[in-house]
Structure 1
Amino acid sequence: MRWRAVVLGAVLTLAACGGGREMQQRRSDAMMEYDVQEPPAGAPGAPPASGSQVAYSYTLRYAFDRPGVAAVQGQQLALCRKLGPTRCLVVSSTLNDPDSDEHVVTDEAVLLIDARQAEAMMRRFDAIADAGGARRALRSVEAEDVTRQMIDAEAAVRAKQALAQRLLTIIRSGNGKVGELVEAEQAYAKTNEELEAAKATRATLAQRVAMSRLAISYAFNDLPGGSSPVAASIATAGDTLSSSVAALVTFLVAALPWVVVGVPLLWGLRRIARRRGWRLPWRRRNDAVVPERE
């Protein structure tokens, strides 16, 4: 019937789109490998080649030698929020309140920043950290080419849209049996679900390209030896000795009541054993053995 012919045409269209995607994948696989590097300072996050879609992610780590993490992190997050969610978005952040006996504290923040302004944003973050007494201990950048994924997502959206339109035409025409129309409506509903999923995938990929992920970690370390284990051990030798003496005193205090009770008890049991002639099993065996005389 007519509606079956239309559905068959839609299936053939999807097959053609799938074949086109396979050819695009082969062409993409045949391309030269992309050399990952930082984008130019003038246009951070810009595609390195015509038509390429690259998602960048950055990592920053700041080291503090005095308690100033809260102030630096607060100023950086305030700057991000001031720019607005379209240019900078705070995804998550943690800030620990260290106790007096905590010498090493680590906090973090995860942001989404406009890929075109990533370099400028990180320079401003570095300036805030430098003013707060921190130094940048690490900076890294990663790039992922998502061109093929975006091509596939776009092709899937177009194919699902074409199939949904054809099925809607069949349903509106009213031609065919009731069961056939019900099947067409079910296929239309399923196609719409798949279409929304394909659109969500396309939007996610576009978001990754437009907004770069920036992970910032803050490390506070006020150990006397800093990051050197040997220097830290020498500097904290007095504390280690004090801790050992304290542990010994604690052990003696805990054992003293048992000594006071146990020593008289053992002495009394020994007196009773001597009066009644009790002997230990191995002593009895030794007494039973009579040495041979020559």
Structure 2
Amino acid sequence: MAKLRVALLLGLTVAACGRKGDTGAPTPQISVAPAGVKSAAPSRSGPGQPPSAHHDGAAFIAYSYSLGFELPARRIDEVQRAHRTACEALGPSRCQLINASRSGGEGDAAEAHLDLRIVPDEVKSFEARLAATTGDAGGTMLTSSVTGEDITRELIDADAALKAKRTLRDRLQTLLEHREGRLSDLLAVEKALSETQQQLDTATAELSELQQRVSFSKLSIDYRSTQPLGSTARPLATAVAEAGQTISTSLALLLTVVVAVVPWLVPAGLLLWLAGKLRARRDARRKGSLIPPP
């Protein structure tokens, strides 16, 4: 019984250490990329472009790219579809579609959006293909930006927590296999094992998400329509169209006022007529009292 309780206490201590993390421990080696995929963004030349993500093999950077294109509204669907096809041609192991949306018509201010995930070493060539496709459709690139987030510390902590949870789970499983001690102790071990397994699943998912952010870069693409020729006259046409609506609204308001007031005009006129008659009689009597008798 004493042996069981000591082992259980030791296992729970390992779990607590795994949650806190050991900042003084050497940096573990973490594999964050699948086979054939680099875990760093490719080096890019030009202002505002990031350096290599690896610094002596210790840093892990999650990059996000954003592109903005302007092109004729009638070509937006075609270009967006071509960009999706280019991603699909790379295969799901190198490019993945996350989200696609489209709004507006051909004669209106049309917009579209794409969210992709792409392996870092494909970003530069893929951007060039997107720009070429858009240029062939009469469009231009308006914006291009990139941001990077260093998640090295998060990866190290997640990896250490995962190892600690696995160690604790293995020790608890060993205790259950021996089945020594009181029934209450065994039930406590089973409960601890269940909770540890849940924590292990959560830690595994967190580490997988961090690895995905490094292995795949996020690429957001926005499309918007160019203003058609003669668009300078559009405000005037809009004003003329709105003028008719304004006149109709004013007439409706005037009719409402007339309908509300007319029923009160008859009694109001009658009251005014009676008041006038009473005033005339009062004035006549006053004048009659002022005339001296003969």
User: TM-score per shorter chain, which class?
Assistant: 0.7 to 0.9
What displacement does 1:95 show?
1.4
Q: Name stretches of at least 5 consecutive residues in structure 2 with no aligned partner.
A: 28-40, 284-294
Q: 1:58 aligns with which of 50, 57, 65?
A: 65
CA distance in 2, matches of 1:181, 1:256: 86
Does the CA-based 8 Å contact 1:45-1:118 persist in structure 2? no
Query: Counterpart of 2:274?
Result: 276
- Which aligned pairs between 1:181-200 and structure 2 lie closer than 5 A? 181-200=186-205
CA distance in 2, matches of 1:7, 1:263: 89
Query: Counterpart of 1:48?
Result: 54
Change (3 A) 1:271 1:121: same
Does the CA-based 8 Å contact 1:45-1:115 persist in structure 2? no
What displacement does 1:62 show?
0.6
Q: Name stretches of at least 5 consecutive residues in structure 1 with no aligned partner.
A: 27-37, 227-231, 288-294
What displacement does 1:175 show?
0.9
- Which aligned pairs between 1:167-182 and structure 2 lie closer than 5 A? 167-182=172-187
- Which aligned pairs between 1:1-294 and structure 2 lie closer than 5 A? 1-14=2-15, 17=18, 21-23=22-24, 39-41=42-44, 47-49=53-55, 50-98=57-105, 100=107, 102=108, 104-222=109-227, 232=232, 235-243=233-241, 245-251=243-249, 254=252, 272=270, 275-278=273-276
Percent identity of equivalent pairs? 26
CA distances 1:162-210 after superposition (whole Å, capped 9, x unpaired): 1111111111011101111111111111111111111111111001100
What displacement does 1:250 show?
2.1
SS state of the match for residue 40, structure 1?
Answer: coil
CA distances 1:88-125 after superposition (whole Å, capped 9, x unpaired): 1111111124174x3x2222111111122111111111
Change (3 A) 1:132 1:74: same
CA distance in 2, matches of 1:262, 1:167: 85
CA distance in 1, matches of 2:96, 2:78: 19
What displacement does 1:223 show?
5.7
Does the CA-based 8 Å contact 1:45-1:56 persist in structure 2? no
Question: What amino acid maps onto 1:201 in structure 2?
Answer: E
CA distance in 1, matches of 2:26, 2:240: 67
Question: What amino acid maps onto 1:239 in structure 2?
Answer: A
CA distance in 2, matches of 1:181, 1:262: 85
Does the CA-based 8 Å contact 2:103-2:112 persist in structure 1? yes
CA distance in 1, matches of 2:14, 2:272: 106
SS state of the match for residue 21, structure 1?
Answer: coil
Change (3 A) 1:274 1:81: same
TM-score, L = length of structure 1: 0.75
| Greater Cα offset, 106-115 or 9-18 | 9-18
Does the CA-based 8 Å contact 2:8-2:189 persist in structure 1? no
Question: What amino acid maps onto 1:40 in structure 2?
Answer: S
Does the CA-based 8 Å contact 1:46-1:116 persist in structure 2? no
CA distance in 1, matches of 2:8, 2:254: 91
Does the CA-based 8 Å contact 1:91-1:111 persist in structure 2? yes
**Which runs of 4 or more aligned residues in structure 1 lie more than 6 Å from their structure 2 counterparts after TM superposition?**
258-271
Does the CA-based 8 Å contact 2:69-2:223 persist in structure 1? yes
RMSD (Å), alpha carbons? 3.5
| Greater Cα offset, 156-165 or 77-86 | 77-86
CA distances 1:139-181 after superposition (whole Å, capped 9, x unpaired): 1111111111111111111111111111111110111011111
